[in-house]
Copies of this chain bind each other. A is one copy, B any other.
């Protein structure tokens, strides 16, 4: 249970990291949208392992295949099924994990919950599971772009204690993608790569913050009181592997201000209602106000490290875990398209939900 996301633009993902394939079914996609694998592959390539030396080196081409829901280059309005075959399956690399729980992985909790687990890899807890999310979100992004010119950009904002300088309202896709760490601040990016390289050599890992901005979001998205836009955004990104915290707008730093400083004064600009500041982060009362939506997500240092760790066996004996398998020194560069994906899935679902109740603007 729990493998479906969205109310009207619904995705259901499936697949273990070392099973035969991973995939997704998208239900509720509007009909007559031009769509082919070429719309989807680029985001998968950004998510792919092995794209640079600072991410995990698993070998996968992640070539997407559309199995249904598209006819003569257009969506039919019926479910779109897509899959990617797993190519790099090496259960032998995981043999040592058959009997021992890797610290801060999901090995123990999966076994405790289900009484069984696929020890030949991370199973559903692997970041490999996000293939389906990113593929589905490529469709969501296309709908948002075509209907509302909505643009969703994420980037690495912080690695460990190093914070990049980025203007979320101005940053461009090319600035983010020109470097392997996906940080548009070139000076910071260079330092980040050095930090990750150093951690990699020590068999260690680093965490950080991905910031994401959504521009040109229509006013009115969000369904109070439980499906407020920030609530669904929080859920969406907190369902990504390794995420530990979420902020919107001023977030934790907003509490250092008094209300008189933190309130966003309304004004008229460009013939419409705008706010002078944007501590709200584009959402007020759970509903988008047309300003840039800005969120931040903290990702912990990856649990897969190349050092010996204390753990226990499945029959409850203390043991040491010797590092094996592939090291993942920093998830952040690959987390960028994942965060974008979750934001896109939330926005397109809320766009349809809003129009369903309140009509088109």
Cβ contacts under 8 Å, A68 to chain B? 14-16, 19-22
A339: interface (CB < 8 Å)? no
Q: Is the CB of B3 within 8 A of A225?
A: yes
Q: Is the CB of A255 within 8 A of B109?
A: no
CB distance from A318 to the nearest CB of B (A): 6
Q: Is the CB of A268 within 8 A of B32?
A: no
Within 8 A of B (CB), among A275-292: 275-276, 279-281, 283-290
A187: interface (CB < 8 Å)? no
**With the chains together, A110 CA to B288 CA distance in Å?**
10
A206: interface (CB < 8 Å)? yes
Cβ contacts under 8 Å, A15 to chain B? 67-68, 79, 81
Q: Is the CB of A225 within 8 A of B124?
A: yes
Q: Is the CB of B116 within 8 A of A226?
A: no
> What 0/1 readout, one digit per residue, does chain A (236-258) give for beta carbons within 8 Å of chain B?
10110101111111111011111
Within 8 A of B (CB), among A201-238: 202, 204-209, 219-220, 222-228, 230-236, 238
User: Counting chain B CB atoms within 10 Å of each CB, which of A75, A125, A234, A288 scores highest?
Assistant: A234
Q: Is the CB of B106 within 8 A of A287?
A: yes
Q: Is the CB of A248 within 8 A of B248?
A: no
Within 8 A of B (CB), among A1-35: 1-5, 7-8, 10, 12-16, 19-23, 25, 27-32
> What 0/1 readout, one digit per residue, does chain A (147-163) give for beta carbons within 8 Å of chain B?
00000000000101100
Q: Is the CB of B301 within 8 A of A258?
A: yes
Query: A310-B265, A359-B30 are known contacts. Are A251 and B257 too (CB-CB below 8 A)?
Result: no
Query: A101-B273, A106-B286 are known contacts. Are A238 and B228 too (CB-CB below 8 A)?
Result: yes
User: Counting chain B CB atoms within 10 Å of each CB, which of A2, A23, A311, A356 scores highest?
Assistant: A2
Within 8 A of B (CB), among A307-361: 307, 309-312, 316-318, 352-360
Interface size on A, residues (CB 8 A): 154
Nearest neighbor of A219 in chain B, beta-carbon distance: B112
Q: Is the CB of A245 within 8 A of B248?
A: yes
Nearest neighbor of A130 in chain B, beta-carbon distance: B225
Cβ contacts under 8 Å, A69 to chain B? 14, 16, 19
CB distance from A284 to the nearest CB of B (A): 5
**With the chains together, A288 CA to B305 CA distance in Å?**
22
User: Counting chain B CB atoms within 10 Å of each CB, which of A8, A225, A356 scores highest?
Assistant: A225
Q: Is the CB of B204 within 8 A of A21?
A: no
Cβ contacts under 8 Å, A167 to chain B? none
> What 0/1 readout, one digit per residue, does chain A (173-198) give for beta carbons within 8 Å of chain B?
00000000000000000000000000
Q: Which 10 A-B pairs have the closest CB atoms?
A: A106-B285, A2-B223, A2-B227, A205-B259, A235-B235, A259-B301, A109-B287, A356-B356, A14-B79, A113-B220
Q: Give me 11 A-to-B residue pairs in the complex whose CB atoms sit less than 8 angstroms apart, sorted by A's number.
A: A1-B27, A1-B28, A1-B356, A2-B27, A4-B226, A16-B78, A19-B67, A28-B357, A76-B114, A108-B289, A199-B258
